[in-house]
Structure 1
C-alpha cells in the first residue's frame, strides 16, 4: 500500500529533526574510535625514536569537548550531508516500495524471509550503504572544512585520485567487507534469532508474554554481544578511513596532491587537529592485522572504545 502525501511531506522535516541529534553523537563516536594513540615510541627510517605528538583522549565525552573547543558547532555536524542523503534515499524507498499499514505503527524491520533471507537482505543493504558510510567517516575525520553543497570539491578531499577514477576499489579496502559481513552475520544469524526466542513480540509490536527470566537471559546475551561487536566496530572505523591509493607514501588524509585540497580551508583558529590518524605508509592489511596492530600499538582497551554505546544500543533494541 503506497504511502500518503502527508507522509512524504513530513519525511524531510522528521529526518532533519532526528539527524540534528544523531549526527553530532555519531560523529564524535567515529572520531573517538579513529583517534590513533600509540603507547610507545615509533622508529623512523633511520631507526631513531619518533615521539607521538597527537591528542590523547580517553573518553567519548572528552572527545565531544575537544571537537566543540577546536571546531565548534559546525565541527559537530561534519558528515551531515552524506548521512542526510542516505537516510532520505532509504526512507523514500521504504515508503514507496516496502510500506504497509503495519509499518506505520511500528518501526520498520527487514522483511520476514527466514533466517537466510534476512541475512542476505542485510548484506545487500550493507553493500548499498557502504560507500556512504565511508564518505561519512572520511568527512568526520578530515581536518578540512567541507562545503555542504560543494559535492565535487568535497569528493576531491574525501577520495584519493585512485578512488575517484575507480570508485569500486573502496569495496576492496583490506578487511573492511570482512568486518562488515561478520557484524551483519552476528546480528542477523545469532542475536536476532535469540531476540525472537527470548523476547517475542506480537504483530502489534507489544510483548504478549514477557518473561523476566528470559529477558534477563537476553540482556546477558546483549552484554556478551557488546564484547564481540565493539572490536568489530572499532576495526571497521579504522578500515573505513584507510584510503586506497597507488603509492603508500601518499598522504591521503590531507589529500594534498594535484592541487586537490589547496582551496579547501581548515577550521579558523585550530592550531591542532581534533584527532591523530595513523600513518598510511604502513597500512592495515586486513581485519586480523588491524585488530592485532591496534592491540600491539595502542593496547587492548583501544578495541573497546565507547563499548557502552554498543551495549546501550543492544539494550534499547531488546525493548524496542
Structure 2
C-alpha cells in the first residue's frame, strides 16, 4: 500500500511543483524588484531619472519574465525547491506554508510556535538560496552546485555560512510573521470557528455566519501586517553579506569580496532592478522606511491579494 502511495505521490508532486514554482518565482521577483520613484537626488543634489524596469503588477512581471527569459526563467529556483520538498517529505511531518498556517503534529500553541520557528531556522539557508536563484541575472546550471554557490554567495558567506542568519532584520521579519499567524490567527480561528478544525466533531453546517465573518475580517486586517513583512523578508533575503573588519554583516567592503563571478546570461536587459549592495538595508525597520521613502508605501503591499487568499485558504484547511 505504501508503494502505491509513493507512485501516486510522485506525479501529484511533479504537477504541483510545475504550477507552484513559476508562480512563486514571479511573486519573489515582483516583491524584490527595486523600483524607486521617477526622480531622485544624486550625491551632488541634482535630479536623476530612474532607468530600470518599472513593473506595476504581478501579471506584468509574469509577462516580462517570459518575454526576456522564456520558460527557463519561470522555473528559476526549481532545484532548491526540490531540495526543500525532499527534506519536508523525509524529515518533517507538517510543512510550514509561506502564506498559510503553521502547524505542528499534536502540539499546542507554544509547541506550534517552537516547531514553526525551528522549521524556519532549518529551511532559512535554502530559502535564501532559492530567492537569490530566482532574482539573479545569471544563468545557473542545474548540476554545477559549487559554481552556483560562488554566484549566489559572497566569499564571506561561503567562509562563514552562519552569517546568513545574521542578515540584518531577516530573522526578525520571519519570526514576526510566525508569531502573528501562530499566536494571533491560530487561536482566533479555534475560538471563532472551531467547526473548521479537522479535529472538531461538530459539523461544518453549524458554523456561525457572524463568527465566520468576524474571523475573515480579522484575516483581511492581518494582511495589512503580513504582506509588508513578506515583502521585507524577500528584500532582506536577497541582500548579500560582505566582509568587514568588525565582522559586521551590514558594513560593505570590497577587500576579500572581489572574486570573479560568472558571466551574465546574455539577455539584453535585466528582468528586475536590484538595489545597490553598497547601501544595504540595516534592519527590518530601516528596510520598511527606505522602501516607503524610495519607492512609496504601495511597494510594501505588492501582491497583497495572494497573502489574503492564502490566509482565507488556511482558514478552511
> Which residue number in structure 2 is paired with residue 73 of structure 1?
71
Q: Any idea what SS the aligned residue of 1:273 has? A: coil
> Which residue number in structure 2 is paired with residue 286 of structure 1?
283
Which among 113, 130, 133 is matched to residue 136 of structure 1?
130
* 2:104–2:111 contact (8 Å) kept in structure 1: no
* 1:230–1:310 contact (8 Å) kept in structure 2: yes
> Which residue number in structure 1 is paired with residue 247 of structure 2?
none
> Which residue number in structure 2 is paired with residue 183 of structure 1?
177
> Which residue number in structure 1 is paired with residue 97 of structure 2?
none
Q: Distance in 1 between matches of 2:7 and 2:153?
A: 34
> Which residue number in structure 2 is paired with residue 214 of structure 1?
211
> Which residue number in structure 1 is paired with residue 164 of structure 2?
170
> Which residue number in structure 2 is paired with residue 116 of structure 1?
110
> Which residue number in structure 2 is paired with residue 243 of structure 1?
240
Q: Any idea what SS the aligned residue of 1:68 has? A: helix
The Cα of 1:10 is off from its aligned counterpart by: 4.0
> Which residue number in structure 2 is paired with residue 103 of structure 1?
none
Which among 302, 306, 316 is matched to residue 305 of structure 1?
302
Q: Any idea what SS the aligned residue of 1:227 has? A: helix
* 1:15–1:84 contact (8 Å) kept in structure 2: no
TM-score (norm 1): 0.88
The Cα of 1:23 is off from its aligned counterpart by: 0.5
> Which residue number in structure 2 is paired with residue 145 of structure 1?
139
Cα distance per residue 1:92-111 (max 9 Å; x no partner): 224xxx49xxxxxxx99422
Cα distance per residue 1:57-88 (max 9 Å; x no partner): 00000000000100001100000010111011
> Which residue number in structure 1 is paired with residue 228 of structure 2?
231
Q: Distance in 2 between matches of 1:204 and 1:87?
A: 29
Gap change, CA 1:202 and 1:144, over 3 Å in 2: closer
Please report the RMSD computed on the Cα atoms of aligned residues, expressed in angstroms.
Answer: 2.4
* 1:66–1:274 contact (8 Å) kept in structure 2: yes
Pairing 1:125–2:119 present: yes
Q: Distance in 1 between matches of 2:259 and 2:289?
A: 34
Q: Which structure 2 residues correspond to residues 80-95 of structure 1 after superposition, within 5 A?
A: 80-94=78-92
The Cα of 1:202 is off from its aligned counterpart by: 4.3
Which among 196, 200, 203 is matched to residue 199 of structure 2?
203
Q: Distance in 2 between matches of 1:116 and 1:27?
A: 32
Q: Any idea what SS the aligned residue of 2:243 has? A: coil
Q: Distance in 2 between matches of 1:127 and 1:120?
A: 11
Pairing 1:160–2:157 present: no
Structure 1 stretches lacking a partner, 5+ long? 100-106
Cα distance per residue 1:26-47 (max 9 Å; x no partner): 1000000001111154444555
* 1:39–1:297 contact (8 Å) kept in structure 2: yes
Q: Distance in 2 between matches of 1:293 and 1:129?
A: 27
Q: State the number of aligned residues.
A: 301
Gap change, CA 1:47 and 1:202, over 3 Å in 2: closer
* 1:15–1:88 contact (8 Å) kept in structure 2: no
Structure 2 stretches lacking a partner, 5+ long? 95-100, 245-251
Q: Distance in 1 between matches of 2:148 and 2:200?
A: 44
